[in-house]
Amino acid sequence: MTKSNLTRRGLIKTGAATGAALATPTIFTGAAWAQEQGFTNAPTGDTVTLGFNVPQTGPYADEGADELRAFELAVEHLNGDGSGGMLQTFSSNALEGSGILGKRVEYVTGDTQTKSDAARASARSMIEKDGAVMISGGSSSGVAVAVQGLCQEAGVIFMAGLTHSNDTTGKDRKANGFRHFFNAYQSAAALGPVLESLYGTDRKAYHLTADYTWGWTTQESMQATTEAMGWETVNNVLTPLAATDFSSYITPVLQSGADVLFLNHYGGNMVNSLTNAVQFGLKEAQANGKDFQIIVPLYSELMARGAGENIAGIPGSQNWDWKLENQLGDRYKGTNAFVQSFGEKYGFPPSQAAHTCYAQTMLYADAVQRAGSFNPCAVVEALEDFEFDGLGNGPTLYRAADHQCFKDVVVVRGKENPENEFDLVEIVEATPTEQVTYDPDHPMFAGGDLGECNPGA
């Protein structure tokens, strides 16, 4: 963090009297933070409470259930229970399995219902009634943007869960919010060269797009990338998040002249829209003298399981995959430790939603431990431009300019002959960080301002 940023946030005190020599700058950490500034829900006893806000109902409930499993596992590991998971591989050695700053970690949960208003109400209750000092979770970017804004107002840290819209760390970025998960621009940057290699440069694309911030920015990103390599966009049709039957949206695709269908859908929406597309024969169809193709920009193992054999051969992208370390080596260390501890507790491998929520919990705890304080502004200081490794994604940077993590992106495809229900996705490549990195003022992320860290009370 630069000196100017520290001064902007009040983290540096200097002499103020006219004509007085400037004092040596002091960066407040540890006990100094507690003495200088109060903050919302400062822990006073021997425990600290975290709030985990996940979709327990609604179209993303499967993701939410796995997020909650990961949160529970992370708390166990922070408190010194279980195998320790990625505490053993994390490049930072600040955490010792003794809670956070010696306080045992407790947690409360809420149901976002995959609705922004419900998510805000749930998060507000955890902050105001339960004393949560950090909020995490969610599988919808609409929810993430809403809860991030609330946490900024309340003076607590928001460690976003599964949120893929460019807006989360773009126009809606906040100083108190941090995103480990990748975004729509990064999916498109990783997928573009793969799609060109698979399908060439002469294609006509039709988009079905979830009608909210994630769908909009995913479609925008994919259209920009594919048109840059010569593809034509035939149409983009918005679909309601609450939809369960997409038959009426699939029929026009067949008469559109398109030979590629982008399903900018996630969770249960993707399972249902892909099922309808297959039922209408799109996977076997021909158009413009070519085999018709279906693309799902944002993938997950949970979605693949729901879609079953329909997912075979369909490309997409992921933030992480449980097979990374076994297939691509030690660069992705931490993956096996997490998979083993998750599998021992729950009996199956974790999803990318589980992984990002576990990582975010560890990253928050580590930042508090290194800063020596739960003060949100101390946490912000500790996380900004923090470089780390050993959490499963390879070397990673938490960029100060927008609070977005930068790391490799995984390009995947549905497996043609899976060995079991947990082996439905094959890794095509891990796209290097450099290929998916962009300037903080990139047009797709413009209009946002982190503002100042808010410690609250």
Sign of the CA dihedral with 109 first, then 115, 116, and 121 last: negative
Q: List Cα–Cα distances, 125 to 145, 154, 178, 441, in angstroms.
A: 17, 11, 21, 35
The token pair at 193 is: 């060269």
The token pair at 191 is: 């997928």
Domains within the chain, CATH numbers bracketed: 47-182+323-407 (3.40.50.2300), 185-318 (3.40.50.2300)
- The pTM of the full predicted model, rounded to 2 decimals, is 0.91
In the chain, the amino acid numbered 397 is L
Residues 197 and 199: their CA atoms lie apart, in Å, by 6
Instruction: List the one residue out of 154, 143, 126, 178 whose CA is nearest residue 64.
Output: 143
pLDDT tens sequence for the chain (457 residues): 443 343 334 333 322 332 333 332 333 444 444 444 589 999 999 999 999 999 999 888 999 999 999 999 999 999 999 999 999 999 999 999 999 999 999 999 999 998 999 999 999 999 999 999 999 998 889 999 999 999 999 999 999 999 999 999 999 999 999 999 999 999 999 999 999 999 999 999 999 999 999 999 999 999 999 999 999 999 999 999 889 999 999 999 999 999 999 999 998 899 999 999 999 999 999 999 999 999 999 998 888 999 999 999 999 999 999 999 999 999 999 999 999 999 999 999 999 999 999 999 999 999 999 999 999 999 999 999 999 999 999 999 999 999 999 999 999 999 999 988 898 999 999 999 999 999 999 999 999 999 999 999 7
